[in-house]
Structure 1
Amino acid sequence: MEKHFELSDQEFEKRFINCQLNPSDFSHEAHLRLAWICIDQYGIEGAEKYIPVHLQKFVKSVGANDKYNMTLTIAAIKAVYHFKLKSKSNNFKDFITEFPRLKTNFKDLISCHYGFDIYNSERAKMEFLEPDLMAFD
């Protein structure tokens, strides 16, 4: 089990927002958990506004500005939302067990939407680029 699960959803979000979360604990799964929490708290539109602001602040605080990618951030939120709508889970642990592809095959999921490399695109890092293959629903 990953370290971020040692924290309640409230404590996890609070530490993230205050840039007190250990960067080594902020794994891909932890990013997905943050999306789950924020969608619950603020709705999809709110999460799409809230997370980028705080994620940029977090990466800056740990000296990892080059790691931030706006397109990937929004795409991950949209992917979590898509599966959350289909989910029977009422907590993130059950959710990620129900939809393990979000964790284990995330790049494949994203490649269904984007026919170009959003991971290394300078433009994708700075602004959200709409998918060119399949829109998020």
Structure 2
Amino acid sequence: MTIVAIIYDSATHNTEIMAKAIAQALESEGLDVKLTHVHEAKIEDIKGIDGLVLGSGTYHHEIMPALEVFIEQAKNVDLKGKTGAAFCSYGWSPEVVDLITNRLKGFGMNTIDGLLIHEKPDEAGLAKCREFGKNIAKMIKGE
């Protein structure tokens, strides 16, 4: 079974909405998805996975603090060669996706371009989330 963990933090629920749409797309591609809010996530959740997708809102131009702590702990898990991706809902500052992607690359993960949605995703934004999920699935499957 191919397993993808989606770990996210969401102060306004916008990133959560994105996470759920991405998860649905991954599941529609036949992947097993573990969708977890970072406050409920354990580092064991990412051991033995095939893909790691991290989502964050923007907090003063930075990754949300709880997700930052989780990422710091994740450096102790062997993720080399796995698929990694980042997504972000933002109001003012979109650099969080690049910050997360760079951390995933630092773990030796194969990454795809991150997904940015300004504030709450509308139908077009949700379509982008679903497409993002399908692209992650293709990368994991080697398509």
Using CA pairs under 8 Å that are at least 6 residues apart, name the structure with larger relative contact order, 1 or 2: 2
TM-score (norm 1): 0.37
Determine which structure has the larger helix proportion and give its number. 1
Normalized per residue, the structure richer in strand is 2
